[in-house]
Chain A
Amino acid sequence: MKEEIIISGRNLPYIDPVLNIWHWQIPLYLFVGGMAAALIFFSAYFYIRGRGDELKTSVQIAPILAPFVIVIGLIALLLDLRHPAYFWQLYTTIRLDSPMSWGAWTLGVIMPLSVIWPLTYLKEIKEYFSNSGKKVKGLIQWVENMVNSIKYLRLTIEWFTKYRYQMAWVNAVLAIILGVYTGILLSAFNARPLWNTSILGPLFLVSGLSTGAAVIMWMSRSTKERMIFSRIDLLLIAVEIFFIVHLFMGFLASGAVQIEAAQLFLGGEYTAIFWAGVVMVGLVIPAILETMELYGYHIPISIPALLILIGGLLFRFIMVEAGQVTRYLY
C-alpha cells in the first residue's frame, strides 16, 4: 500500500490547517440577500402581471422587509471585511470579472430602490398595520410625516409612483442578479471544489426565492394569496431538490477533488446535518405540510414557513463552511 504524509511548515492564521476566513457573516448575508431578492422579485413580478390588488401582501406589504434585511446583510458584510475603512474602494471601479464587484454595485442600486418601493405604498402599509402596536403605527406615521414635509422627497416618491411599472422591471432584473449572485459568489472560486460548480447560482436563487415565498405566505392575511404562495413554494422546493441531486451527480461524475467534496455530504462529516437539517427539515417536511394544507388539512402556516427559513439559513452556513474545507492537494 502506498501511503502519503504531507507536512507543511506553514501555519498562517485562519488558513492552516483548514481554510477558515469566512465565518458567520457571509452565510448570513447570502441568506438575507437571497430573501431580499425574492421579496423584491415577487413584488415586481406580480405588479407587472397586474395582480397588485389581488396579491396585496407580496406586492405592497412584504417588500417593506427588503430594506431592513438588506441592511442586516450590509452590516454583516462590513463586519466581514478586515480592512473595513476602505470599503468605498468597491465603488471606485467596476470589475466585470469579479462577482463581488457585481454584487456590490447591484446592492448599491437595489438598496435605495427597495426603500422607495414601499414608500410608494405607504397608504396600504398603514392600513395593513392599523391593528398593530403603538410603536409600529408611530413609526409609519413618522415616515409619512417626513415624506410629506420634505418637498423633494415627496416629489421623488410621486415620480416613482407614476413610473412604478418601469421601476418594477428594473427591480425584477436586479433581484434576479442579486439572487443568482449569492451563489455565483461561491462558484467563482475554482480553488474550492465544492463551490466550483455552475449549478450553485440557480440553486441559491431558487433557495432564496423559496425563503422569500415563505415570508410572504407567513405575512399574508388572505387565504387565496397564502394558497398561491404555498403552491409557488412547493414548486420551488421541487426544483431545489432536483438541483441538489443534480449538484451531487455532477460532483460524482467530475474530477478527484470534486468527488472528494461530494463525499463530505455522502458519508462524510456534513452528511447528517445536511440531509436531516437542510433536506428533511428545510425542504421535505415543509413540502409535505404544504401539500396537506392544499388538500384541506389545517396547518398553521407559520410552521412550514419557519422550517423553510431555518433550512435556507442552515444550507448557506453548511455550504460556506464545507466549501472552505475542500481543496486541491498536491
Chain B
Amino acid sequence: MGEPIIQVDDLYKSYGAVEAVRGVSFAVAEGEVFGLLGPNGAGKTSCVEILEGLRTPDRGKVRVCGLDPETSGDQFKEKIGAVLQSTALPDKLRVKEAIELFAKFYRKRANTDELLRRFQLDEKRDAFYSHLSGGQKQRLALAMALVNDPEVVFLDEPTAGLDPQVRREIYDIIEELKRGKKTVLLTTHYIEEAERLCDRVAIVDHGRVIAEGTPRELKQKSAGTTRIEVRLARPLSDGMLGRLDGVASSREFEGMYVLHSARPPQTIVALVKQLEAENNELQSLEMFSPSLEDVFIELTGRRLRE
C-alpha cells in the first residue's frame, strides 16, 4: 500500500462507562473500498464519526487526506462526503433543492442535474423529502455525499433497514464509486455487502479490530471449511457433534447447531447415523460455502447479528 489516505492509530472513545472504541488501528489506500464489518454496537459508527470530524476521540491519532478531522475545519470538510447513519432533512425540502443547497456550501461542486440522473432521482426532483421512500431517501443521501466531488466518502450503514431490492440498487451505486476510483470507507453488518463491495475488510467487535484483510484472505482463515447448520427434534449429548467425521468446530446458537466441516459429505453421513442411533430426528439441514460470517463465528463464538 502506498501512502494511506485514511490512517487510524490506536483510537479510543468512551461514552461514560461504555468503551465504544478500544485501540482501533487501520489504514486505507487511495481508491480503495474499505469495510468496517461488525455487529450493532461494535464501535463502527463511533470510529467513522471520529473520522468525519463529528466526534472527538479520547486517545489516538487520525488522519484523513493528511489532515486532522478535528482541527482542520473547512479545509477538511471540503475533501470528504458522508452518508450518516441517523440523519434527516426538513420534510418540505424538495429533492433538487436539497442537492443544490448542500452544493452551495462547497467550493468544488458537482452538477446537480447529473447527480439527479445518476442516482435515479430525476423524476423525484420536485418531490418533498417527506414524500420519498426509504430507498429514495438513501439515494438522495448518497447524492448529497457527492455534491462536492469528495476525495473520501464515508458510508455509515448505507443499506440498513432497506429491502433487498433497494439494497442491491445501493450496491450498484457503490460499485460505480469503486469503478470511479473513489476512496470509500463503509460500515456494515451485512456479510454480503462487505464481501461484494469491499477491497479490504476490518472485522470489528466490542470496539476492537479482530481481523483485517481482503474478503478472500479472511475467508481462508476459516480453513476452507463448509458451514453446516442443522436443527434437530431433541438436543444432542454434549460434544457429540465435535467428534463427527470431518468436523473442525461446532457450536449451538438458539437451538440450532452450526458445524464447520472440512469433509461435508462424510460429516453428514456420520451425523445421520448418529441421530438414528440416538433415536433423534433431523428437522432441517443447510450447507454454506465459507463466508465472513464463519470468520466472525470462529473469532468470537457468536453470530454477526446476535
| Bound pair (A, B) | no
**Chain B interface residues (CB < 8 Å from chain A):** none
A contact set with B: CB distance below 8 Å: none
